[in-house]
Structure 1
Amino acid sequence: MAEQSGAEYLSRALDAYGVTAVFLVPTTLSATLVTMERETGIARIVTHGEKAAAYMADGYARATGRPGICMAQNIGGANLAAGLRDAYLGSSPVIALTGGPYEYSRGRNYYQEIEDFPLFKPVTKSSRQVFDVTRLPDQLDQAFRDATTGQPGPAHLELAGHTGDVVENQSFEAPVPRSGVRRVPAIRIAPEPAAIARAADAIRRARRPVIVAGGGVRASGAGAEVVALAERLGAPIATSLNGKDTVPADHPLAIGIPGLYARASANQILLEADLVLYVGSKTGSQVTLTWQVPPPDTLVVHLDIEPTELGRHYPQTIPIVADARLGLDALRAALSYVDPGGTADWVARARRLGERWSAGLEETAPRDAEPMRPETLVSELGRLLPDNALVVADTGHAGMWTGGYLDLAAADQGYIRAAGSLGWGLPAGIGAQIARPDAQVVVFTGDGGLFYHLAELETAARWNVPLVVVVNDNRSLNQEINPYTVAYGGSLTGRHHELWHFQDLDLAAVANSLGVTGIRVTRARDLEPAIARAVAINGPVLIDVVTDIDAIAPKGTAARATD
C-alpha cells in the first residue's frame, strides 16, 4: 500500500466515486485541485461567489442524482452554508468541503477567522470535522453515504487548516476506494407486506382516489411505476413541483400541480377526493396549500422513504415506509384485481375541471397581448422545448408560472426547481448543464432572479456551457405588488416604485458584454425563432423576453368547484 498525501487521496477518491466536476471559490484545497488536473478528468469550476458554487453543485446533483461537490476556504464558509439552504430544502445530495481554523490560531482573533462550523448544522444531514488525514477515508465515505441514503440531502466536511491544507499536506497509507458511481437512491428499502395490505384495502374501497407524485418519485426513478398504478386504479394523478417531470403532461389522467403554485383545477379535484395517495412527498405547506388541499380529515395513504414524514400533517394516514419504486410495485401487485371502470365518472369529472381551466387561459392571457403575458411565454416555451430539455426554474414567479403553465410531454424532458432561494436558477442551470451534456438545459428566471448571480454568465461563457437562459423581464420584483398594496393601505401611492421597480435594461446587451449570446424578444411570434436559434448555438444564450409588469402569477386557493 503506497503512501499518499491527503490531497492525492481526496482527488483520487472523488474520481473513483464518479465525480466529474467540483465548484469552488479559491483559495481552497489547492493541492487537491492540482492533483485533479494531473490525474483525473474532473472539471474545476471557479465561480464568482460561494453561494453560486453551492447552487451549481445543487443543480449538478438534482440533474443526475450524483452528489455535487462545492468547496470554500473557511473565510467563505458562512457563504457556502447559506447556499446549502436550497439543497437541504430540496433534498439534494450536495457535499460541501471547507477549511477550518488552525489549532494554534483558534480563538486568538486570527485575521478573518471565525467558527463557521456551527452554521452548517441546520442545512445539512451531517456535518463533521476532520483533524487528521487518517480519518479522511471514512469521513468522506460517510458523507457520500449520508447524502445519498434515505431522504437525500447535503453533507459537510470541515478539513483542518484555513484552506484544508493541514489535512491535504499530511501523508498516510490508505487504499483508494474501488471505482463505483455514488448516486441516489444508494439503498432501496422494500415495504412491509402488512403495510401494503392495509393501504391496498383502503385504496380498493375509494371511489374518488387521487395520486400525488413528489420529488421522491423523481429520485427513485419511479415515474413509469406511478403512472402504471394510476392507470390500474383509474385515478387522477397530480405532482408536486419537485415531481413535475414524473408524469407526462399530456397523459389523460394528469391534472397538474396542486397547492400554492397550482392549477385551480388540480386543487378542485383534490378537494373532492375521498382518498389521496402521496408518493415521495413531504405533504408540506406548498403542495397542500397549508394543509387545506386536501382537507385535514381526508384519508391519506403516504408512501415515503423517510418515516418521520408519515402522518405528520394528516391524522388519517396509512403509512408505508419504502423506496418509491419498490413501494409502487408492491401496491400494484396487491391491487391487481381493481376495476378502473369503478372510477370512470370521477376521471371524467377531473377531465372536465381541467378543460374548464384550460379554456379560461386565452381569456385571461390573450396570446397576442402587448406587452406579452408570462402565461403566453411559458405555454409557448413548453411547446417549443426540444425533446431533451431539462428546465431549471427559479423560485417565486418563475416557479409559479412554470408550475401552472409549463407542460412537459416528451419522455426525456425534465424539470428541477428552486426550493426557495431566488437567484438559484442561473448557477443551478450551469451545474446541471455541466453534469448533463446530453440534455439541453433551459433556465427560466425573472430579471430579479437573474441579478442575484448575474456574474455567473461569465462562468458559463468561460466554460462555453451551452445552456439557454430565458428571462421573464418585467423590470421589477412585481411579486411584491400585493404585499406593498396592503402595506400602503389598499393602493400603491407615494414612492412605492422604489421598493420593487428596476431600470429598463437590455439584458441581451448585458449578456453579450459578458460573452454570452443575447437575444431580445418583445412579441410572442418572435419566441419560436429565438428558441430555435438559441438551441442551435454551441454556447450559452440568454433570451431577454419583455413581459407585462402588472402580470401577477395566481396563487392556489381552497375554493371548490361550483358544479
Structure 2
Amino acid sequence: MTRTVRLTTAQALVKFLASQYSERDGVEQRLVTGMFGIFGHGNVAGVGQALLQAQVESEDGATGDGVLGSLPYYLARNEQGAVHAATAFSRARNRRQVMAVTTSIGPGATNMVTGAALATTNRIPVLLLPSDQFATRVPDPVLQQLEDPGTLDVTVNDVFRPVSRFFDRISRPEQLIPSLMNAMRVLTDPADTGAVTVALPQDVQAEAHDWPLAFFAKRVWHIGRPVPEPAALARAVELIRSAKRPLIVAGGGVIYSEASEELRAFATATGIPVSDTHAGKGAINWDHPSAVGGVGSTGSAAANELARGADVVIGFGTRYSDFTTASHTIFASEDVRFVNINLLGFDAAKHGAAMLVADAREALRALTTELDGWEVEPAYREEAIDLDAAWQRVVDECYHREQTPLPAQTEVFGALNELMGPEDVIINAAGSMPGDLQCLWRASSPVQYHVEYAFSCMGYEIPASLGVKMALGDDHEVVAIVGDGTYQMLPMEIATIVSEGVKVIIVLLQNHGFASIGALSESRGSQRFGTKYRMRSSSGRLDGSTVPLDLAANAASWGADVLRCGSMAEFRENYGRAAASDRATVLYIETDLLGPNPPGSAWWDVPVSQVSTLESTQKAYAEHLDNQRGQRTYL
C-alpha cells in the first residue's frame, strides 16, 4: 500500500521544493534555495501559510512524514524586481541553483512578465509561481480577474506562455506531481532553460490531498556535460585547421560551463585571438596575450578589425545577437565560415555553421587535443597583440579624461575598474553604459562582469545586486551602476536590500536624461527629441529647465547610506568608505549627458524614416542606406 501524507497543495509544493538537489562534477547542492515574493489575497493563505508552517516546524525541530522542508522567504517590494533578483542569483551560481518567486493574482502576477522574458532571453532558470483565479469558478469573477467573453479558460497568467520555457496551470492538486517534475527538468537543463511558470489557482493552493511520500524523497537532478560527437568534432577540426585568420567569440556558455581555464589553454596553444560578448566577458582575462576585447556594435576596435578579416569564426556558447554581429556586418570576409559550439542546437546551427552540440568545457578539451601542434601564423598572432595594445591606449584615455566641470561616465568606469578586485562584481543592463563597458571594461575573472544585455532591461541592476550578493557572499564586493533613467524604473528593492542587511554598493549617475537613446536619436536624425528630463516650456515641448529631481535624497529615503561625490577624486575616496562599510551605500555623482563615449568601430541597424521634411532625418537615412550595403546573410 502506498504511504501518503495529507497536505495542502501549497504545503506539498514547499515540501517538494525543499527536497530537490542539483549535481554537476560531483558537487551536490540544494536546487531551490529560497523564495522571493509579495503576498496578496491570491497566495497569502496558500503559499504564504505553507512557508510559515515550514519555518515554524523548522524552528521547533519537528520531524515526521508530514513536516515541511524549510524554504527561506524574502519579502520583495516589486514583483518584477523579485524576478530580477532571482535571475541574477542563478546567473551568479552558473545556473546550478535557482530561486522561486510567489505572487498574488492579477497585477502581482503580470508584474513578473518582464522578468520572465529577461530570464528566458538570457537562458537563465527561475521558478515563477503566480497565483490564479478560482479553479472552481464559484466566486466568478473574483477580484483582479480578467474576463474574456469568448472563453472562461483564459487568465492573465496566459501571458507567461510565450516568455516561459515551461508553463502549466494546476487546476487539481494531483496535477502538481507531473508539473513539478517537468519544472525541475527545465530548471536543470543546461541548454533549454529559462523562466519556468507554474500558475496556482488560489483555491487549489489551500486544497488538501493525500500525497505519496515518495514524491517528497530527496531527488538529485544531474546537470550533464554533453561531449562532442566524433564526426562533428572532426568536421570542426578540419575547418579550423584550414583557417588563416580565425577568431574566437566567447559567449556566456563558456562562463556557465566554468571553462575559462580550458579557453585560456586553447588560446595559448593555438594563438587564436579571443573576442567576447557581454555574457562572455571575463571568460578569458583581459590581459591574456590572445584577448582582444568585445566584438560587435559596441566592441573594441581591435576585435572588430580582426572580425572583418576573419575567415573562420569559432563561437563558444554564444547566441549571436545583433550586437555581436553588428547587425550582420562585422564578419565581412566574403568566404567567412563558422564553427559553433553550443549546448543548444538552435544556437549551434546559426549562420550555416559547422555544428558542435556539446558542453563548452568538454569541447575545448577535445579541440585542444585534436589541434595539438597546430597554431596560427606568428604574424597573425603579433597583429592581434598590436591591435589590442593600441586599443588599451584608447581605454586609458577614456578612463582618465579629467573632464570638467562634469566627468564623463567613462571616468567613473575607469575608477571602478581600478578600485574593484578581480572577484568583485560590476552589474549593469541598459542605456549607454553596457556599450561603454563592453568597449572598455578590463575583466580579470569570469565573475567580475555581470551585464544583462540579452533583454537589456532598465531596472535590472538594483535588484540584481541583491541576487548576486546572496549568491556570492561577503567575499565579493557587488557594485550596481545605474543612470538616473534606470534608477527611476525600479529603485524600491533598495528597501529589500536594507531590510535583509545585505551590503552592496550602488553607483548612481545623474545626467538628467537618457544618454544612450539621446545619442541614438541624434545619430538617426531625431535630434534627441524626448530624451532629456526637462520641464514643459511655453512652447509646449519638454525643453524647459531641468526637472528638480533629488535622486540622492530618494535613495536615502529607502534606508541606504548615501555619499554625494562632487568630483572624481571625491568619488574614489567615497568608494573606499563604501567598501569599508557593512551597510548598503549609494554613491551619487553628476556626469555629462553628452559623453564623450568611446570611439565606435561597428554599426547597429536601427531603421530610419525613409521620407521626412527634416534635414537631419534625410541625412541619417542616406547614412543608413550606406551602412546597410554591408549587411549579409551568413550561409
Q: Same fold (TM over 0.5)?
A: yes
User: Which deviates more from structure 2 when the two are superposed, residues 188-197 or residues 484-493?
Assistant: 484-493
- Shift in CA distance, 411/120, structure 1 to aligned 2, threshold 3 Å: closer
* Alpha-carbon distance in structure 2 between the residues aligned to 1:530 and 1:376: 15
The answer as to 2:264 corresponding to 1:238 is: no
CA contact (8 A) 2:311 2:335 kept: no
How far did 1:91 drift? 0.8
The answer as to 2:323 corresponding to 1:286 is: yes
* Alpha-carbon distance in structure 2 between the residues aligned to 1:397 and 1:494: 13
1:428-507 correspondence runs (5 A): 428-438=464-474, 439-485=476-522, 497=534, 503=547, 505-507=549-551
1:38-437 correspondence runs (5 A): 38=56, 39=58, 42-64=71-93, 65=95, 66-75=97-106, 76-105=108-137, 108-114=140-146, 115-149=155-189, 150-161=191-202, 165-175=203-213, 176-179=215-218, 186-295=223-332, 297-312=335-350, 314-315=351-352, 317-338=353-374, 340=375, 342-361=376-395, 363=397, 366-370=400-404, 371-410=406-445, 413-419=448-454, 420-437=456-473
* Alpha-carbon distance in structure 2 between the residues aligned to 1:197 and 1:107: 63
* Alpha-carbon distance in structure 1 between the residues aligned to 2:125 and 2:546: 35
Counterpart amino acid of residue 299 in structure 1: R
CA contact (8 A) 2:519 2:528 kept: no
1:6-47 deviation per Cα after TM superposition (whole angstroms, max 9, x unaligned): 333222222223223211121222122213422355331222
Counterpart amino acid of residue 381 in structure 2: V
How far did 1:206 drift? 1.4
* Alpha-carbon distance in structure 2 between the residues aligned to 1:508 and 1:33: 36
SS at match of 2:244: coil
CA contact (8 A) 1:427 1:456 kept: yes
Counterpart amino acid of residue 34 in structure 1: L
Counterpart amino acid of residue 436 in structure 1: L
The answer as to 2:36 corresponding to 1:23 is: yes
SS at match of 2:142: coil
The answer as to 2:30 corresponding to 1:37 is: no
CA contact (8 A) 2:307 2:330 kept: yes
Q: Which sections of structure 2, spanning at least 5 residues, go unmatched?
A: 21-29, 59-68, 147-154, 536-541, 604-626, 631-635
* Alpha-carbon distance in structure 2 between the residues aligned to 1:23 and 1:528: 34
* Alpha-carbon distance in structure 1 between the residues aligned to 2:15 and 2:467: 21
* Alpha-carbon distance in structure 1 between the residues aligned to 2:245 and 2:483: 38
User: Which deviates more from structure 2 when the two are superposed, residues 79-88 or residues 298-307?
Assistant: 79-88
SS at match of 2:480: strand
How far did 1:463 drift? 0.9
Q: 1:509 aligns with which of 549, 553, 563?
A: 553
- Shift in CA distance, 199/456, structure 1 to aligned 2, threshold 3 Å: same
* Alpha-carbon distance in structure 1 between the residues aligned to 2:119 and 2:77: 19
More helix by share: 1
* Alpha-carbon distance in structure 2 between the residues aligned to 1:289 and 1:484: 18
* Alpha-carbon distance in structure 2 between the residues aligned to 1:464 and 1:111: 35
CA contact (8 A) 2:341 2:355 kept: yes
* Alpha-carbon distance in structure 1 between the residues aligned to 2:48 and 2:582: 31
* Alpha-carbon distance in structure 2 between the residues aligned to 1:309 and 1:411: 22
User: Which deviates more from structure 2 when the two are superposed, residues 44-53 or residues 27-36?
Assistant: 27-36
Partner of 2:585: 541
How far did 1:134 drift? 2.1
SS at match of 2:141: coil
User: Which deviates more from structure 2 when the two are superposed, residues 30-39 or residues 535-544?
Assistant: 30-39
CA contact (8 A) 1:396 1:422 kept: yes
* Alpha-carbon distance in structure 2 between the residues aligned to 1:116 and 1:78: 7
Counterpart amino acid of residue 561 in structure 2: T
- Shift in CA distance, 366/147, structure 1 to aligned 2, threshold 3 Å: same
Q: 2:567 aligns with which of 523, 526, 530?
A: 523
Q: Which sections of structure 1, spanning at least 5 residues, go unmatched?
A: none
CA contact (8 A) 1:418 1:424 kept: no
How far did 1:310 drift? 2.6
CA contact (8 A) 1:508 1:517 kept: no
Partner of 2:150: none
SS at match of 1:244: coil
Counterpart amino acid of residue 273 in structure 2: P
CA contact (8 A) 1:476 1:502 kept: no
How far did 1:117 drift? 2.8
SS at match of 2:354: strand
- Shift in CA distance, 474/216, structure 1 to aligned 2, threshold 3 Å: same
* Alpha-carbon distance in structure 2 between the residues aligned to 1:334 and 1:488: 52
SS at match of 2:116: helix
* Alpha-carbon distance in structure 1 between the residues aligned to 2:116 and 2:346: 22
* Alpha-carbon distance in structure 2 between the residues aligned to 1:449 and 1:291: 29
* Alpha-carbon distance in structure 1 between the residues aligned to 2:319 and 2:524: 33
Counterpart amino acid of residue 112 in structure 1: Q
How far did 1:113 drift? 0.5
1:158-200 deviation per Cα after TM superposition (whole angstroms, max 9, x unaligned): 1222xxx423432322335444676xx8222111101111111
Partner of 2:23: none
CA contact (8 A) 1:484 1:496 kept: no
The size of the alignment, in residue pairs, is 551
1:311-367 deviation per Cα after TM superposition (whole angstroms, max 9, x unaligned): 33x23x2111111111111111211221x3x43211211122222223234556643
Counterpart amino acid of residue 32 in structure 1: A
Q: 1:9 aligns with which of 9, 12, 19?
A: 12
Counterpart amino acid of residue 479 in structure 1: S
- Shift in CA distance, 394/179, structure 1 to aligned 2, threshold 3 Å: same
- Shift in CA distance, 379/151, structure 1 to aligned 2, threshold 3 Å: farther
SS at match of 2:249: strand
SS at match of 2:562: strand
Identity %: 24
CA contact (8 A) 1:21 1:435 kept: no
Counterpart amino acid of residue 73 in structure 1: S
CA contact (8 A) 1:394 1:418 kept: yes
